[in-house]
Structure 1
């Protein structure tokens, strides 16, 4: 399965606008079963390609009023939010981002759609004094594995 990278703010806003699917001590996981929004460049290219370019009179571009229903999501698109207020050093932020990407790469059975992992609280600097230690790497990886397991667990049926 393809794992893409979320980059556009509109996609982050769509996913983070939903309630988190799972939480751990340091991370929150958000999911939206959708494809990324098409880029403005891609949409403009389609409009230009659909209108015949000529040196004469311009051809009107007709946009359909009704939009096609959204297609089923294809692949996983992962976005990562690691704010400076929770990880002051860039070495630590990069370590956490690598661990998040690796955690998703190890899970081929993730449902398709948009996923955002957000660091919601800092790791204790007394416990992990080094910015990029093996201990921090192992702790982050273990917590991310539990977070993804929790997100994949079937939801209990509501009590009637």
Structure 2
């Protein structure tokens, strides 16, 4: 499993379809595009410098946890860790494509007081497992 590393990769995947949703997360998928540059007819393009967006045919994954929904960096990092850990278990069940797990709603601060509590990690883990299972069924 490869990780998404730059903004164009994330943008390309987010432009794809939403495969599965849970209360707090959405799973986006887009097929791997082997074409590095699309030119207009008659336009000259320097292909020597162009690289494909996804150079390896594999399962690509990114985690997107916006500040809007997780204010503290500690919380964002804990959520991302749970996403990457759980998705590694499911990577062999997914076809070769690029995926982004996006946090789309905040976890209640009244329910999860601590920024990195075990309860929060367990809740995130359970929901990401449900999301990945729904994504496998949709694939």
* Structure having the higher Rg: 1
| 1:5 and 2:36 are equivalent in the alignment | no
* Gap regions ≥5 residues in structure 2: 37-45
SS in 2 for 1:80: strand
Counterpart among 18, 21, 41 of residue 20 in structure 1: 18
- Tell me the distance in 1 between the aligned counterparts of 2:4 and 2:134: 22
What is the TM-score normalised by the length of structure 2?
0.80
After TM superposition, the runs of 4+ consecutive aligned structure 1 residues lying more than 2 A away are: 35-38
Aligned residue number for residue 43 of structure 2: none
The two structures, once aligned, show a CA RMSD in angstroms of 2.3
Cα separation, partners in 2 of 1:27 and 1:83, compared to 1, 3 Å: same
Q: Deviations over 1:47-82 (max 9, x none)?
A: 38xxxxxxxxxxxxxxxxxxxxxx9x7211111110
- The aligned residue for residue 79 of structure 2 is 96
**CA–CA distance in structure 1, aligned partners of residues 30 and 48 of structure 2:** 28
Structure 1: gaps (5+ residues): 39-43, 49-70, 156-160
> 2: CA distance between counterparts of 1:93 and 1:130?
13
Q: Distance in 1 between matches of 2:109 and 2:48?
A: 52
TM-score, length basis structure 1: 0.70
Q: CA deviation at 1:36?
A: 7.6
